Amino acid sequence: MTPLAITMGDPCGIGPEIVAKFFAALPDAEALVIGDAGRLQQALTRLKLNQQIFSIKSPQDAVFLPERINLIEGSHLPPDMAYGKVDARAGQAAYDYVVDAIELANRGQISGIVTAPIAKESLKAAGIKYPGHTEILADKSGTSDFAMMLANEHIKVILVSIHVSLKQAISLVTRARVLKTIGLAAQACAAYGIENARIAVAGLNPHAGEGRMFGDEDADEIAPAIADARAQGLNASGPYPGDTVFMRAKKGEFDIVVAQYHDQGLIPVKYLGIENGVNVTIGLPFVRTSVDHGTAFDIAGTGTADANSLIYAYKQAVLLVKHRGLYGA
């Protein structure tokens, strides 16, 4: 396959370190890096790793050998930037890495993107208006119907809304939006080779509204969306109380859960294992996976970051690329 691209993430976070550890753990990975050579070399030196960085102009120039890291240089950064700090220069660089990767993916020069974490505060400091990776990816690829899916070996969860306030998230629980997310849930499962996926839809309110005792959204918006999905032939059911539906999915009753807002979906996934979690953007014209954690400024530059989530994200990207020819991505 054409190579995957790993974006280095925020240079002041743990991104350079986990990328270095990734290549030490998977020296035969057909992946290139988009980032800063100096920052990555600092991580390799700190960790006493033997990998050598080779700067390339395009993915076609990549040669995949053990102890070789192919890197497309992004924004050049000063070597003395402090780790663990919000920095506008780091925010701009992290954004540039992602945009460069999207352009390569749009041209078909890479098979997908695996992203290390970015810092939303650093993006803001750089004057970049996007709240996160997902919105950048969707906008720069011209994608209007997209969703964030979080997955680990236990459950898959897809979100109706992403990086918005809780107040706004409630207003986004509409029949049309829930229906669209159910459809994307089916698409996500198909990308993993799961046909006729069992899609559970979480309720918004306690006990999924309890017959309108605790709110009307479950009856007025979510239930009709599920009925619409079933009429389209999708195996959707619910709404189920949010405090039990994820446990039922973990036990194998469902293939994926539609969560109504960010924390409702992310808390159970991360609780069950952040080190083996992956973030997948559904609906893009290319594969994109990401680590299921942030920049960890508190340990950045210490050599103690865990690269398992990046390794897992890469392996999931490879799996999705292989399925893509049969099922779509």
- Give the mean model confidence (pLDDT) for residues 107-130: 95
Is residue 279 in some structural domain?
Answer: no
Do 128 and 169 lie in one domain? The reply is: no
Do 123 and 177 lie in one domain? The reply is: no
Q: Please tell me the pTM assigned to this model.
A: 0.86
Q: What is the pLDDT of residue 328?
A: 40
Asked whether 222 and 236 are in contact (CB, 8 A), the reply is no
Task: Identify the domain containing residue 227 by its residue range.
Answer: 153-272
Is residue 286 in some structural domain?
Answer: no
Do 4 and 130 lie in one domain? The reply is: yes
Beta strands in the chain (DSSP E): 4-7, 31-35, 52-56, 68-73, 112-115, 147-151, 156-159, 199-202, 236-240, 256-259, 278-282, 287-291
> Does residue 325 register a pLDDT over 60?
no
> Band of the pLDDT at 183, cuts 50, 70, 90?
very high
Q: What is the pLDDT of residue 327?
A: 39
Do 185 and 212 lie in one domain? The reply is: yes
Is residue 277 in some structural domain?
Answer: no
Structurally, how many domains does the chain consist of?
2
Do 101 and 183 lie in one domain? The reply is: no
Do 187 and 313 lie in one domain? The reply is: no
Report the percent of the chain where pLDDT is more than 70: 97
> Does residue 165 register a pLDDT over 50?
yes
Q: What is the pLDDT of residue 132?
A: 86
Question: Angle 15-25/37-47 helices, nearest 10 degrees?
Answer: 60
Do 50 and 139 lie in one domain? The reply is: yes
Do 122 and 70 lie in one domain? The reply is: yes
> Does residue 281 register a pLDDT over 60?
yes
Is residue 168 in some structural domain?
Answer: yes
Is residue 264 in some structural domain?
Answer: yes
Do 30 and 108 lie in one domain? The reply is: yes
Residues 214-251 have pLDDT tens digits of 999 999 999 999 999 999 999 999 999 999 999 999 99
> Does residue 98 register a pLDDT over 90?
yes
Do 205 and 268 lie in one domain? The reply is: yes
- Give the mean model confidence (pLDDT) for residues 171-179: 97
Backbone angles phi, psi at 284, to 5 degrees: -75, 160
Report the percent of the chain where pLDDT is more than 90: 80
- Give the mean model confidence (pLDDT) for residues 279-306: 92
User: For residues 242 and 190, what is the distance between their CA atoms, to the nearest angstrom?
Assistant: 24
Is residue 233 in some structural domain?
Answer: yes
Do 250 and 190 lie in one domain? The reply is: yes
Q: Tell me the CATH number at 189.
A: 3.40.718.10
> Does residue 117 register a pLDDT over 70?
yes
Do 79 and 199 lie in one domain? The reply is: no
